[in-house]
Amino acid sequence: MNRINMNQPIRMFPIILIMVGLGGALLSSSVLAIATLFLAISGLAFIYNKTLLKTGWETPKELRLLHFAFWFFVLVSALSWALEGFDYEGGKTFGTHARLILFWPLVIALTVAGFRARHLFLATALVALSSLAALLIAHAAEYENIGQLLNTRFGAGNLIIFGNLALLGGVLALVGGSYFARAGKAPVAIAVFGLGATAIVISILSGTRSNLIALPVLLILLLPLVGPKLRLPGLAAVTVILLALLFSSDRMPQPIEDALEGKGLGPGIEIRLELWQETANIFMEHPWTGVGLGGYSSSIEDLADSQPEHADLRNCCTGHAHNDLLNNAATSGIPGILSWGFLIFVPMVIFAKNIFNSHQPSAHIAVAGTMVSAGYLVFGLTEATFNRSLFLTFYLLAIAGPASALFAELSSSYFRQRKVKVSATIIAKNEEHHIADCLKSARLVADEVIVLDSGSSDRTAEIAKEYADVVEVTDWPGFGIQKQRALEKATGEWVLSLDADERITPELAREINHHLAAPDADAYKLPWAVTIYGKRLDFGRSGRAPLRLFRREGVRFSDALVHERIIIPEGRKIRTLRGRLTHYTHRDFGHSLEKSAKYAWLGAMEKHRKGKKTRTMIYPTLRGLMTFVQVYFIRFGFLDGAVGYLTAVTYAQVTFNKYAGLWTLDRTTADDSRN
């Protein structure tokens, strides 16, 4: 990405806004809301001016997936509100949920501003500082001495929200302290560690039960940041902290003691259990649509009025179900469960994949992002967090910030130069439109380029000689054997096997060179970025990451006619890189039909050669449908728009044709046997 030419005050504005928003959240929800609004407005301005596009910025597919998780939640909420007839109470809930649509403008604003790890962890330190400020303000205004304050359930505003967010801010500050310590900024690290520990102590004063579960979970997520030898002692320390919290708090041991003595779990817990049972019943009665955003309150109120044994629910629980999963299930049915799952687990998985990254800023951001999602998962066990505007807006900003910072840091983390020789091998036939660009891109990572031309009738071989070290024209024995021939000509310690319609992007080249400076695996998969009809696909067929880069010794290709495999010796480690391998699969739709038919027939013959059989046409039909579902839905191909749909249909047709072709070959063989 090229540098953004912009005045420094303008670039710093989004960074100041996120710090003010997160830092002021525990003091005033209005501060968080206003800062988020202005940050989103600045993002919309950057989108309108195409600020990032002018720099050549390529949207990380992970950010697109995060964006989907946020807008899908809003979409499901809108549908639930519409299905119930735009109920007034439901409208207020939808108004809260609608804030999530601001995720993309927030990310754009922070990306343009150059939001990085140092900014993120200063912001989390401010969250911890604000919890201390709230304590001092309360002490000055309401309590005669600190001892009186410490003997009460302390919290600014809603005790549960304050306690949860103070805890999350405190643990995030611990991550920030670790980051600054690794960056060699000891005074800052000590101050941030101190603020984090203070915020955690203050959060315990709120007496929030979910914090007793959340704290050990969040502390465990700190362990990837310490050395392997310290992780087991760290786990033991977390266990000790958990036991100390359980036995020092009167909000957990007492219900346990009462239960052991047969006195029940206490009125608070028993009402929650009763509520959850009734909420589950509402979901079972309306599994596909739920009862609507406002319908839940009406259902609980009707239940409390009609059945005296449930009258207590009216006093505490008509607003929401005090559980995120059950609340979404009751109000929006199965779509609500999916939307909640995407909102929690998509960010969690994306961040968690990077927590062991060797680049320390990226690893710390990944741990912080994972903590936010994991924290909300635990908080949501006893609270409908996404129905609370403060909770929801904090989550929105606390995911957008780490997401923007993570991919900025990852992009800048590839700086080492490889120290090993790499040979690039390419097989080609009639690829004069692709071969030059393919070979130029290969030169970004390869010392030796080898091309085997399978009898092209165009200028493929002639063009290849301008860029490759070795060019040979051969017969066509099939993909596997031809790639093995090319591999045998390679002399490098590492081999990059490419198809002529593939390209190594500059960022992928930097990542490959960085990893090969000190390889952390024996082979690497390179995620595809299929590009057809003028669009780069991030999902669907691009959901695959073929193995392309490997240590040469002991490796061979299978002899398959099509869809050959690279056979790696057992015990070797394989990793997947982040950068994208651009794949121009088709020149046009006519070429798509031609290539699809060829691959389907070769696939049918390969399966027939191995003795595979298809006895009825039902099987090809089912396999075609399964391919469509996998490419379009499971791999999120629908996010690639109309081209994603066309691609899913095309691959479904290829699958059908392959197994239909196998069926015809079986019949032909049977007829020959009878004759």
Q: Is the pLDDT reported for residue 516 higher than 60?
A: yes
Give the pair of three-digit tokens for residue 485: 């021939």
- CA-CA distance, 470 to 464, in Å (whole number)? 9
In this structure, are residues 327 and 272 in contact, taking their beta carbons and an 8 Å threshold? Answer: no
Q: CA dist 488 to 77, 110, 461, 553, 555, Å?
A: 58, 49, 19, 10, 10
Burial class (CB in 10 A: 0-12, 13-18, 19+), 231: middle
- DSSP for 252-301, please give it: SHHHHHHHHTTS-S-HHHHHHHHHHHHHHHHHHHSTTT-S-TTHHHHHHH
Place of tokens 């970004």: 444
User: pLDDT tier at 552 (50, 70, 90 boundaries)?
Assistant: very high
Whole-structure pTM over 0.85, yes or no? yes
Segment 176-229, tens digit of pLDDT: 999 999 999 999 999 999 999 999 988 988 778 889 889 999 999 999 999 888
Q: What percent of the chain has pLDDT over 70?
A: 92
| 3-class SS of residue 674 | helix
Q: Give the pLDDT mean for 658-663.
A: 94
Amino acid 254: pLDDT: 56
Segment 598-651, tens digit of pLDDT: 999 999 998 998 899 888 999 999 999 999 999 999 999 999 999 999 999 999
- CA-CA distance, 65 to 403, in Å (whole number)? 11
Amino acid 321: pLDDT: 85
User: pLDDT tier at 145 (50, 70, 90 boundaries)?
Assistant: low
User: pLDDT tier at 542 (50, 70, 90 boundaries)?
Assistant: confident
